[in-house]
Amino acid sequence: MERNIIYLWICALVIVHPVVHGNQETSESPLSEKLPSLLKMNNDLAFDLYKRLVELPEYKSKNIFFSPFSIAMAISELTLGAGGDTKNQILNGIGHNSTFFSNKEMHELFHSLLEEIDERKGVDIDVGTAVYASEGLKVIPEFFEKMKDFYHSDGFSVDFGNKSTVNKINAYVSEKTHGKIDKTVEELDSNTVMFLLTYIYFKGKWDMPFNPSKTSEGKFHVDDETSVPVQMMHQSDFLKVYYDMDLSTKVLCLDYNDSFSMFLAVPDHVKNKNINDLENAASTEQIEKWRKSVFKRKIDIYVPKLSLKSSYSLNDVLKQMGMTDMFSGKADFSGISEDRIMISEVMHKASLDMDEEGTTAAAVTTVEFSRMSLPAQDMKFDRPFMVFIVDQKNNNILFFGKVVNPAD
């Protein structure tokens, strides 16, 4: 019997633009003590995905930006309906360790995390899932019930033979991402029977905004031979910084509020370090180290304005991670449908916009000193650097990437 096709589409969007909210809540999040293990699994998956992406010829010298949280959630959702070797391959591929939490507990922890994210007041953040199933697909109701219970999923019954279905999917994602991703799909394969997507929308303001009058044209050094013009934002203030002597890397932490931050990390070219050196050494543990080590000091910083868009097919990367059966005739998704189905494609889209805007509320603080001091009196992100958006409350990496050429 010919197998039908599932599309798995992961849409991720981040915008660093102004948003106004009321006072931030400071109550403790009711998260399980096992949540750190889930977040470590997700963050380790982020670095695994990143290092596999940069090894691909088409991305080796390109900007990379994606949401590991969105990808981890979408792939984890598949285990609600996968069975046999297919399920084991997915769990092994994402780094699930049953000694820390069971498969069922993994979904419960994702649910707890989504509930906690929904309560955030300091930024505008929205995470969700939707499943589109063919009207003729013999679905297993329990799968869709669990998707709704654990992942707040919306469910739709559609006719994939009707071109209006593409418009419906694009309209849904456009609404959820406030128009930033307006064309999720161009067309669908005639054999498509199910379409699963996850999205994440983030909109925040800097605690300490950049003054637009101080933004000026500068040069970004793509490599030793190539430089491109870029609008470089400038700020001179008491800011969170750190110099990682082990990696010869300058680290800057820019807060949106007291729970979300962007980390920028640029290799020290004076020490003959480049982005490849940093990529090879970067890890979940390094992010945690930077998060704990940044301290406030008076410093000049120069950060480029950015507007990046990315799109990736993750089929080959996931196969390299051992998730092969789900793309083949061996796929076992008997918990989703009585029909024999397989995955045709896993896609991921992401967007990053960064400018001077931010909150005007002052965050004047004490200056903390450390044995690690910066070797220079300024910090310029004028050559390839890595970027992370991290939840300071639990170290969850929402977005992850590198900027090689802001003009690309």
Q: pLDDT per residue over 65-87, tens digit each?
A: 888 998 999 999 999 999 999 99
Rounded CA separation 248/337 (Å): 52
- Measured distance CA(396)–CA(157) in Å, rounded: 33
User: Which residue, among 209, 199, 293, 305, has the nearest Cα to 250 in the 3D structure?
Assistant: 293
**Widest distance between CA atoms in the chain:** 68
Region of 231 on the Ramachandran plot (φ > 0 left; ψ -120 to 50 alpha; else beta):
beta
Q: Are residues 367 and 323 in the same domain?
A: no
- Residue 249 in any domain: the answer is yes
How many domains does the chain contain in total? 2
On whether both 348 and 373 belong to a single domain, the answer is no
Residue at 408 is within a domain? no
72 and 90 in a single domain? The answer is yes
Q: Exposed, middle or buried, 349 (CB in 10 Å: 0-12/13-18/19+)?
A: buried
Same domain for 171 and 76?
yes
In whole angstroms, what is the distance from residue 158 CA to residue 135 CA? 6
Is 161 among the domain residues?
A: yes
Residues with pLDDT less than 70, the chain? 1-32, 258, 357-377
Identify whether residues 329 and 251 lie together within a single domain. Answer: no
Q: What is the pLDDT of residue 17?
A: 37
Please indicate, yes or no, if residue 259 is contained in any of the structural domains.
Answer: yes
Q: What is the CB neighbour count within 10 angstroms for residue 23?
A: 7
Same domain, 101 and 216: no
Give yes or no: residues 280 and 334 share one domain: no
Task: Judge if 141 and 36 occupy the same domain.
Answer: yes
Neighbours of 224 (CB within 10 A): 9
**Confidence at residue 377, expressed as pLDDT on a 0 to 100 scale:** 54
**What is the extent of the structural domain holding 315?**
4-204+308-353
CATH number, domain at 72? 3.30.497.10
Residue 11's pLDDT is what? 53
Asked if 268 and 367 sit in the same domain, the reply is: yes
Report if residue 374 sits inside a domain: yes
44 and 75 in a single domain? The answer is yes
Question: 198 in a domain, yes or no?
Answer: yes
The reported pLDDT for the residue numbered 10 is 53
